[in-house]
Every structure is written in C-alpha cells, then in structure tokens.
A and B are shown apart, each in its own frame.
Chain A
Amino acid sequence: MINLAELKQDLYKEVTEHNDIRYCFNCSTCISGCPASEANPPLLIRNLVRKVLLGQEDALLDDDSPWACVTCSKCEEMCPMGVKPFELCLAIRRWQCRNDETRIPQSLPELFERGYTQPVEKAQALRASVGLGELSLVVHDPELLKRFQAMLKETKIVKENSYMFKE
C-alpha cells in the first residue's frame, strides 16, 4: 500500500524539463511496440511515465529498466500525446545518475569503450543476414574512437569519475 501523501508530486520537474509528459493517458502505444519490453526485466516506458508523474521517487531510483532502452525511438514516433517517452527514458537515466552515483560506473565505461551503452556492434551479422548494410560506428574506427574518448575526458562527469579510466 502506497500512501499518496508520501509521494513527491513535483518529481517530474526534477526528471525532465519536458512538461508534455503530463499529457500521457496510459494508452500503451509505447510499450506495445517497444523491443525492450521483451527484455528481462522488461522496459515498460508507460509505467516509467506513470512513476514519474505519481512521484514514486524511490521506486524510480531503483528501476534498472530505463537502461534496457535500445534507443530505437519507435515509442516516440507513435506516441499520440507527444509525451516523448524515449527522451524521458534518457532523462530518467540522467536523473538516476545525478541522484545515485553508483549508477555512473555501470554505464560510463560502456560509453567510453564503444560510444553506446548497448553493444550495437554485435548486431552486424544479424543485419547482414537480412540484407542491411554495416552500421557506421565509432568503435569501428580506432582513430575516431580515440578522438571521441578525448572529447569525453573533457566532460565534467568523466573528470569527476576519472578513477574509472586508465590513462
């Protein structure tokens, strides 16, 4: 049993500057088309929107599902309310990192090593099997990756967590 009075009504303002998430009417368009809704645990963006709006701060902080998003933005294409669920997903990740620094080690090295949180480079064989061309990825060009990593090192978040990265 959750008491409404104990929830943070203004949580959505902390998480995102994008006010339109309040228009969500839980239609389920976003989740019924989401490939990550089949992940374990599933990513249910509709539920994340709801948690943000309800102000379920603790539950949201512990929720790992935003990290399963493959950033395909199918949800964003079809959301009838302009809620931008995909952007909210990323916003929740940022908010989690801001509020829980243990989140950072989980994602930052991945980003640093390959430019994405998801191992998209591993999908090349699958893409080829259905006749799709090679993705142009940072990780495939050592020179580009070097420049990308140098760029990352200039950011505040990497500087603050420099212990994670070998020089």
Chain B
Amino acid sequence: METTEQKTTEEQPTEEPIDDPTIGTVLVVGAGIAGIRAALDLAETGYRVVLTDSSPAIGGILSKLDYQFPSDHCGMCKMLPVVGREYASQYCMRKSLLHDNIKILPFTEVTRVDGQPGAFEVELVKRARHVDTEVCIGTGYCADVCPVEVPDAFNQGLTKRKAVFQPVPHNLPNMYLIDMQACTRCGECVKVCPVDAINLEASDESLTFTFDSIIFAVGCELYNPANTIDLGGYGIYPNVVTSLEFERILSASGGYDGEVRRPSDGKPVSRIAWLQCVGSRNRKAGRDYCSSICCMFALKEAVLAHEKSSSPIETTIFYMDMRTFGKDFYRYRERAEEEYGVKLVRCRVHDVDAMPDDSVIVRYLDPKDGSWHRETFDIVVLSTGQAPPKDREKLAEMLGIAPSQMGFFPTHELDRVKSEREGVFMCGSLTGLTDIGEAMTSGSAAASEASKLMRSMGKRHKEEIAFPPERQTARELPKVTVILCRWNEGKMPPGVDIEKIKERLSRRSSVGEVHVVDTVCRGPGFEQSKAILEQTKGNRVLFGACLPYVYRQRLKLIAQKAGFNPALVEVEDIRSVIQRLRKEEPFDALTRRVGQNLDVAVERLKNSDALHVKSIPILQQALIVGAGVAGMRSALSLAERGVQVHLLEKSGDLGGLVAAKLRYTLDGLDPVKLVSDIKQRVWENKRITTHTNAEILKSSGSLGRFETVIRNGDNEQLVILHGATIIATGGRDAKTDQYAYGQSDQIVTQSELEQGVSSGKLDAKKLNNVVMIQCVGSREKGAHEYCSRICCAAALKNSFRILSDNPEARIVVLYRDMMTYGFSEQYYTKARGQGVMFTNFDLDRKPSVVVDNGKPVVRYFDPVVREEFETEPDLLVLSTGIEADPSNRALAEIFGVALTPDGFFQEADSKWRPVDFLKEGIFVAGSAHSPQKLSEVITQAEAAAQRAFTYLSRGSVTTARIVSTVHDAICSRCQLCVEVCPYGARTYEPMEKRIVVDEAACQGCGLCAAACPNSASELQGLHEKKAMAAIDAYLQEISL
C-alpha cells in the first residue's frame, strides 16, 4: 500500500489525480472503514478519489478486530465491489486495498483547506518513513539489530516492537518504517541494510491538490481509562484491560497465539468480567453520552471467549442498560445468554481490586434479589467507549467549524453527513461512535452527497477504458514472452543473478522471448515494456517483478492495451519470495528459487485460455417502492443525478408513516414541514414519475434490466423497465392487546399520545399523573423479538411535551433497558433532571394493569427500593414499537429477496453491506430494513441511492473474468451448488431444466466447484490441468 503511492507520486506526475479537471475528484480524509466505503463508492461511480490517513496503514480500528458479530467472523472484504471488481484488489481487505480510481496516501496529514466546492485547495503533508519502500526488500535485518523496544500500538501495547517496524503485521506489501520518536539514531540499521534503503535524514513532503469535495472520516478516539480516576486499577493491575486490548488478546496475531490467557502470567483464563460504560454515560465528567457500540462489543467478546477457550469459562457483563437497539442485536443477546451462559448483571461497579496473584476482585449488588457478591476474575475488561476525535480543535479551526456535542463534530440536524461547510461531508465515528453497519451507511451517504454536488457542478465521471481488439490466439501454440525487472537502478538483491534466470527460462519450450528491463513499473523501463509488448510475437505475457499485488493491475493494463487478453498475462512476484526465504536459506539459493517460481508461472500461462467479460447494459432508470421519507429521499437523490425514477406508493398520498404519525421529534425537528418540503420537491422534479394507489403485480429480470408490472390508481397495467430497484416500504405502528389496551380511553399508544396532544384532542395540562410502559410486545419470545429503537426516544419526547404544558406532572416510565444510544443519552439525563421517574422491570416481573371503572390501575415493582407500587394514572401510555408490514412477504417474493424472521427485509450483510441485497441491483432503505430514527432514515436513503447509482451512473457494467460455469452434460441437477452459493448467483431454471449462473452476481469464490460431486461446476480459468501443470513444474525443481 505504502509503495503504491510513493511510486505514483514520485514517478508519475502526469497521472496525478488532477489531470483532467472535468472529472470529479474527491479527497477522503481517514482510511478507516467509513472512509474506505465512501472512497470505494465514489471510485465505483467513476470519480477519482485521494484517500489519506494519518497512520501508516489503512483500515482504522477494524484492522485490529479479527471478529465481528453476528457471524463472529471478519467480513471486511464484502465491501469490495461486486460488479466491476476487476478494477479493485480482490483479496483480504485487512491486508490492503487497491482500486484504479483511488490513490491512497497513508502517513499523510491534511494541513490546510482553502477554497470552495469545486475548487478546494488542500495542502497535504506526507510524513517521512525513513525507509525507501522502492528499494527495501524486507530482509528485516534492520529490526533485528535495532536496540530500541517500545510497546506495539497495533497490539495495544500488549507486545513490543522495534523503532524500525512494520505497522500492521498483516499488511501487503508490508514495508518497514522508522518511528523517529523512539529511534536513537544509532545507525545500526543503516549499516546492516543490504540495499541502502534507510535514510535517517529523510524529511516530510508537502503536496497541494485541488478537489471538488472533501469527506472527513477521521473517526474518534477511544477513551483512555488510565487518565482519570474512573475505575482505579487500569494501568496498575495487569489483568485489567480495555476491550480493544482484549480483542488483541483474542487475536491470533495479538501476541497470545489466540488463546485466552492472562496478561500477568500467561495462565489460561476461567473467569472474565466486562465493566460497561467506562468513560461513557458520565455527566459529571462532561461525557453525558452513550458510546453505542460497547454493549454489542462486550457480548461479542464474551461469546468469542467461550468459543476460543478449550475449557469451560464463566463470563459476566456488568452493565446499566444492555443496549441491543440495532437490527437482530437482541437475538444475539439472547444467544449469548442462552447458548453460552453469558451472565448479565445490572450494576455499575465502583472500583476493582487485585489479589496477590493478580486476580481481580469485583464487588457488586445483584439487583435480581438484592444480594451482595464479591467475585474474583482472571481478567476484567473495561468497555471503553468513545472520546472526541484527536486534534479536533485543529481540524475544526482548519475547516472553520466549531465543534460541539462534547467535542464531536456538529452535523446538519437532519442530513447527518453534511457539515456546516458547504462541500465538506463527514461520515463514520467522527460525529459519534458507530458500529460497522452505520459506518458503511454513512460512508455511502457521504459519497452520495459528494456525487450530487459534483453532478450539480457539471463534473464528469471516468468512462471505462476502450481497448484495441484482442489478438486471436486460440489456434496458436502457447508462446510466453517474459519481461524481467532488473529492479530499481539495477539494485537487484545480492545473490540474485538475473542473467542466469533469463538463461534458464529461455530453455523452456513454451517461452518465446525473455527480456530484461530496468524498473518495469515506471520510467523508461515502463516505456520499454510497452514497446516490447507491441512488437512481440508471443501470445502470452509473464512479468517477473516485485510487488505483484500493487502492479498486477497496471502491468496487465499495458498488456491489454497491446491486445493481450488479461487472462493470458501473469505478474510473478520475484521480491516477496526473497523476503520469505531470507531467514532459512542463504542468498545464493535465491536465483534458483526465483527461477522456480517463474517456471511455475510459465506452466500456468501455458495452460491458460483467454477469458472474456460480458458487458451488461444498464437501463438508467430506477424503481423505488414506497414513497415515505426514505423512498422520496432516495428518489430525489437519484433524480438530481439524472436518473429517471418511478416512485410507487400503495396508498393515495406520499409521506408514509412520518406524514401519518410523526408530529415532533426528540431532537427538535419539524417532521410536518420536512414531509411537506420533500413532497413538494418530489412533485416538482421532472425526472420522478409517481404512481400512487399502485400495486406491484410481478417483476422479473436482473441487474441492469428489470421489468416490473404494476397496476396504478386508474386500474391500468403498466410495465416499468428499470436498471435498479430500491425497496423503501417502511414499517407500521404495532398494535397490542397487552396491558388492557382497548379497555379504557385512558390507555393509549405513544403514537396516539403524540397525535392527541398535537391535534388538541388531549390536553397535556390535565395530565397530572402519567405512566408509560416500554417494550410492549417487543424484545420477548413469542412477540416481536427485536428492539424498535425509537420507543425510548418517543417516551422521552412525549414526557417533555407533557412537562412543557404541565411542569408538575408526575411521569413514571417503566422500562427494561433505556435505549438512548449515542448523544440521545443527554435527553434521558434531562428527563430525569425534570423529574421523570424511570423504573426498571424484568420480563419475569412485568407491570400489571387492570381497568377499574374505566380507569387503569397500574401495579409495578421497584427493584431499587424493592417494593410494590400502585397508581391510577390519568393516562397510561404503551410503547408498542414498529412492526414490519405483512405485505413485505409478497413483495420479497416478487423481487426475489429475503426477509428476516421478524418480517423486515434481509440485507446482504448486516455489517458490511447494510443497504444491498444479495441479489444484485436491488437495495433497501428506511424502516423496511429495520425501525430507525428520522435522521437515520435519511442517511440510509442516501446510502441506498448511492449504491444504486454506482450502477446507474454508467451505461453498462462488465462481469468479472473468473466466474463459474456449469457443464450441463455432466450436471446431475442435484442443486448442491445453488444451496452453497453465498451470493445467490445460482438458480435452477425449471423451464430449461438446468442450473443458470448470474455472472454479475457470481464472485468467483469457487464454493460451487468444491460442492459439485462430479465437477460439472467449474471456475473459468481455474481448471485442474492448469493446477497440475504448475505443481509438476514446482516439483521438478525439488527433485533435481
């Protein structure tokens, strides 16, 4: 990664991102996952992106996390483009990322931002690495001799590293750099380096670029418990660790070999405790916010600890409210408790103490029975949440924005990715810690805003490169033209004799020509290679070069321009083999090793066939199902970018649930005005055709061309052709018969209360005594087994509404876990400050309601004072939540997408592809996905629009070369391949009685080929003969 940019910036000034000012160019600052999502979305659309990060590696916090719930695996690679994936790297994203349209500048800071949208002038400072990655061959001798040892930040200080080090152990290519703060300038590394790659005097480099738009995704800091009096013990007792440290303890690369062991003595762990809210939910310390992710983080770590331990362990999480507010979070909690026995104790712990053997003691009160406990744990994990972004003042000053929200960045109240400065957008945890799914959503939404802005300024996106016709090679015998790189200025590593390698290859019958050039990837060597390719008589090309991860794309491109099919071009690594071998074998064995690898590559090429891509034309029209806020917003977002949109609504009017029910929000938005504004804009937009009272009859087709038949309000059948679909059908207010609902007019839902006080039917002044019951019919087996996310906020906003008319009203909120995540915690605090009484209840001791003379009587247990209370409220308000519309089932069938057990639409991946469906070309936004707040709906609607636009922005998309095929003649139609395909790319076509592969959806993973009992399924270009020939070539050398 580091090397890519160095080469391009130093050697290719003509290929700077600003070579054609009519093409839109965006700076994305921060290469964590949100920044990467935004960058990839823009790059897939054809815009050029410069992605910077202040650290030497990309990936942010996620580079340290090996596992994510709900699958407890890593899934970062799911971010990579699904269609058009030839333009991006296709391997583990935690190693690195490459995309033709993204230029990555790690170890780079933004120091100045001037100008306005369309012409932001930005100064970037590239910090010196002091190791020339052009020259470094990665022997690691430098680190061997370096006398300095410092805590390794990658492992949260659990392990040590040298002053010269590889910042992320699994990066590709993995280049060294020198930490000049730790370096003593002893010069030992300079002496020992065989290629003179180290320069202790190197200095920072300043660059200035012009951008159309800027996206900030610099994340936030994690709270450091060592700095304050919070929970004395961290930094003193070795077995008190933060959640991120525990994550590294669990990791195979974390210095503990992936076993759960105590930092103090390396002994296996049998009891672990998590303490939640360390550094969060602390009004006194000015951190009156919830960090949103820690509850799920702790649950996941507890589950993983159970899975990773060879012997049974006990896990306990000490919490205040278990905030499982996201989609399917509650089910994960149930699984943690029921399947793994994770114990949840509602008690914030005062402090921890250590025993002489370094075990940690926790004293707590179990609120279930009021009993006291003093327990010993091997490890205590502090769930440390967010802290404001580092250098926030500097960043704020540079942008001319005042940070608010306790040091976090303020955003537009409704459009959460818009900053106060026009043309500057924000995503990810910069505006408050988010989970992966929300980071993805906000990254796409920020890309959407930048893309709309560029469109409005008339900026173009890049077209696909047109290639000359390919050489026809099918009838020729394989002849490989080999181009070997002599390395930078002839600095081949010692022991590698390039002439001997040339001679060895020339002896192979399938090799036609062997050329040796200087620095094949750039400068004169690059030009020379181009000329060789133009003239050669060979029909296959093999490059022997360094860093194939970085250059494969680029070298294949020049071969493609010379008429070679990319499947007939290989780039063989002759550098990292040296890196891998240098410790086991002497340097003089390297010539033989490199030769051996090139032999294998020749055999692979000899047995390769040209592979052709398909171009799928994309109809630049979208169908959006549902004209609530999500649907309307997506429609506008696409229409503003030139896409023709058909907006379907089953009712007679636009606006959905927000228009029907929402009158005010907790954060002071005016939903009535919002809906009327957005409706107005939809009506006025000439590219949007709305169909009200519409019904969908059927839909067929695939990415690029769908055909949907609808019946409109005039009872006419219409056929709509569209390239992409967004499902935004929303949700609906859940009904209930619990708690005597329906038996008294003094029992209402939150929604009915909101409308009652807004319309004047209910007089809040007369409400002196109000009881609210949360989670009615939610988060319970046999009911809605999920959190509706909005009801706690509804209880708060309605409490404030009542108190504003009647400050003396007594309001009791009976809750299970207050889900005031993020900055909405402040409203929970404010409500208590205004006297609202919050009383917790458990499922096994729910409140009871009887109606006496038409009036509700509520009885409940207060677990603090452990007494039963009774009250006769003027109004009993039930928080019934949001449920999925039953008509989703029919829609899911029509569009060929899946539903969750709760009836919401099932996205491709809850973390990494939150608004995509597995089926290509269909997306989801708003409450059809899961219940969410108004501002979240807007963000998701933009994200879905952007994901659709990555296709709709172009006339066509090309499929990948390596996709699977079926040999019908030997296929037994057992359909095993259909079952195993994770991308839904395989279907059984009953009319033709055969398996059909959707080549746009196929990701070439090969699961089908592995599952197929008789090799009828095969990945194109990866057949057995080729593999065997390569193995033979390798073994030949060994047997010599």
Binding site for B on A (CB under 8 A): 1-5, 9, 19-20, 22-34, 37-38, 46-47, 50-51, 53-54, 56, 74-75, 77-82
* B284 A80 Cβ-Cβ under 8 A: yes
Report whether B284 and A82 are in contact in the complex, using a CB–CB cutoff of 8 Å: yes
Q: Which of A1, A5, A34, A54 is within 8 Å of B769, CB to CB?
A: A5
Cβ proximity bits B299-331 to A, threshold 8 Å, 1 near / 0 not: 000000000000000000000100000000000
Give B860-876 as 1s and 0s: 1 = Cβ < 8 Å from A's Cβ atoms. Answer: 00101101111110000
Residues of B whose CB lies within 8 Å of any CB of A are: 229-230, 277, 281-285, 320, 346-351, 363-365, 367, 372, 769, 808, 810, 812, 828-829, 832-835, 837-838, 840, 859, 862, 864-865, 867-872
Would you call A29 and B865 a contact (CB within 8 A)?
A: no
Query: Is A33 within 8 A of B871, CB to CB?
Result: no
Closest 7 CB pairs of A and B: A33-B350, A27-B348, A4-B871, A82-B284, A80-B282, A32-B350, A50-B864
Of all chain A residues, the one with the shortest Cβ separation from B230 is A78
A residues in contact with B871, CB < 8 Å: 3-5
User: Is A80 touching B865 in the complex (CB atoms < 8 A)?
Assistant: no
Nearest opposing residue in chain A for B868, CB measure: A1
Which of the residues B229, B230, B367, B832 comes within 8 Å of A23, measured between beta carbons? B832
Bound-state CA distance A31–B871 (Å) is: 28
Cβ-closest chain B residue relative to A44: B365
Task: Find the residue from B281, B282, B283, B871 having the highest chain A CB count within 10 A.
Answer: B283
The one of B282, B367, B869 that contacts A28, using a Cβ cutoff of 8 Å: B367
User: Could you list 11 A-B pairs, sorted by A, with CB under 8 Å?
Assistant: A2-B869, A4-B812, A9-B808, A23-B829, A26-B838, A28-B346, A28-B347, A28-B364, A29-B350, A80-B282, A81-B284
- Taking CB as reference atom, which chain A residue is nearest B373? A32
Given contacts A25-B320, A29-B349, A51-B865, contact A82 B810 (CB under 8 A): no
Contacts of B870 in A (CB 8 A): 1-4
**Bound Cα distance from A61 to B479, whole angstroms:** 99
- Report chain A residues within 8 Å CB of B363: 32-33
CB distance B832 to A79 under 8 Å? no
A22 engages B833 (CB within 8 Å): yes
When A3-B870, A80-B285, A82-B284 are in contact, do A74 and B350 touch as well, CB less than 8 Å? yes
Residues of A within 8 A of B872 (CB): 5
Q: Is the interface of A mostly helix, strand, loop or mixed?
A: helix
Tell me the complex Cα distance, A23–B878, Å: 24
Shortest Cβ distance from residue A40 to the other chain B in the assembled complex, whole angstroms: 12
Q: Which residue of the partner chain, among A3, A24, A30, A50, contacts B865 with CB atoms under 8 Å?
A: A50
Q: Assess whether A22 is in contact with B283, with CB atoms less than 8 Å apart.
A: no
**What residues of A have a CB within 8 angstroms of the CB of B320 in the complex?**
25, 27
Q: In whole Å, how far is B859's beta carbon from the nearest beta carbon of chain A?
A: 7
User: Do A80 and B868 have beta carbons less than 8 Å apart?
Assistant: no
A12: nearest chain-B partner, CB-CB:
B835
Closest to B812 in A: A4
A108 to B315, CA, bound (A): 49
Structural contact, B869 and A22, CB atoms closer than 8 A: no
Q: Which of B364, B834, B835, B838 contacts A25 (CB 8 A)?
A: B838
**Which of chain B's residues has its CB closest to A29's CB?**
B348
Contact indicator B864/A26 (Cβ below 8 Å): yes
In the bound complex, CA of A19 to CA of B346 (Å): 26
Which B residues are in CB contact (< 8 Å) with A81? 283-284, 829
Please, how many angstroms separate the alpha-carbon atoms of A81 and B285 in the complex?
8
CB distance from A51 to the nearest CB of B (A): 6
Whether A1 pairs with B864 at a CB distance below 8 angstroms is no
Residue in A28, A53, A80 whose beta carbon sits within 8 Å of that of B283 in the complex: A80
Docked-complex contact A47 and B865, CB < 8 angstroms: yes
- Report the minimal beta-carbon distance from B630 to chain A, rounded to whole angstroms: 33
Bound CA–CA A28/B872 (angstroms): 29
Nearest B residue to A81 via CB reads B283
Given A22-B833, A80-B281, A82-B284, decide whether A32 and B864 contact each other with a Cβ distance below 8 A: no
Q: How far is the CA of A74 from the CA of B348 in the complex (A)?
A: 14
Known: A4-B870, A82-B284. A47 touches B864 (CB 8 A): yes
Chain B residues, Cβ within 8 Å of A29: 348-350
Q: How far is the CA of A34 from the CA of B347 in the complex (A)?
A: 14
Q: A25-B828, A26-B840 are in contact. List 5 more A-B contacts (CB 8 A).
A: A25-B320, A27-B347, A32-B364, A56-B865, A82-B284
Residue contact A25 to B832, C-beta cutoff 8 Å: yes
For the complex formed, measure the closest distance between the CB of A11 and the CB atoms of chain B, giving whole angstroms.
Answer: 12
Taking A28-B365, A50-B865, A56-B865 as contacts, is the C-beta distance between A1 and B859 under 8 angstroms?
A: yes
Chain B residues contacting A31 (CB-CB under 8 Å) are 365
Q: In the docked arrangement, what's the CA distance between A2 and B858, Å?
A: 12
With a cutoff of 8 Å between Cβ atoms, the chain A residues found around residue B864 in the complex are: 26, 46-47, 50
Q: Nearest residue in B to A77 (C-beta to C-beta)? A: B229
CA distance A74 to B812 in the complex (A): 30
* B835 proximity list for chain A (CB < 8 A): 22
- Beta-carbon contact of B283 and A32 below 8 Å: no
Asked if A24 contacts B284 (CB within 8 A), the reply is no
Residue of A at shortest CB range from B319?
A27
> B318 → chain A, closest Cβ, in Å?
9
Residues of B within 8 A of A79 (CB): 284
CB contacts (< 8 Å) of A1 on chain B: these are 859, 868-870
| Residues in A whose Cβ lies below 8 Å from that of B834 | 22
Question: What's the minimum C-beta distance from B768 to chain A, rounded to whole angstroms?
Answer: 10
The chain A residue sitting closest to B863, CB to CB, is A26
A106 to B868, CA, bound (A): 32
Contacts known (A4-B769, A25-B320, A31-B365); A80 close to B833, Cβ less than 8 A: no
**Complex CA distance for A4 and B769, rounded to whole angstroms:** 10
In the assembled complex, which residues on chain A have CB atoms less than 8 Å from the CB atom of B230? 78
Residue among A1, A24, A28, A54 with the most chain B CB within 10 A? Answer: A28
- Take A4-B769, A22-B832, A26-B864 as given contacts and tell me if A78 and B350 are in contact as well, using a CB distance cutoff of 8 Å: yes
The CA-CA distance from A16 to B579 in the complex, in Å, is: 72
Chain A nearest Cβ from B404, distance in angstroms: 21
Residue of B whose beta carbon sits closest to that of A78: B350
What's the Cα separation between A30 and B351 when bound, in Å? 10
Residue of A whose beta carbon sits closest to that of B872: A5
Q: How many Å lie between the Cα of A26 and that of B347 in the bound state?
A: 9
Q: Does B867 contact A32, Cβ atoms closer than 8 Å? A: no
B869 / chain A contacts, CB cutoff of 8 Å: 1-4
Q: Which of A5, A24, A32, A56 contacts B349 (CB 8 A)?
A: A32
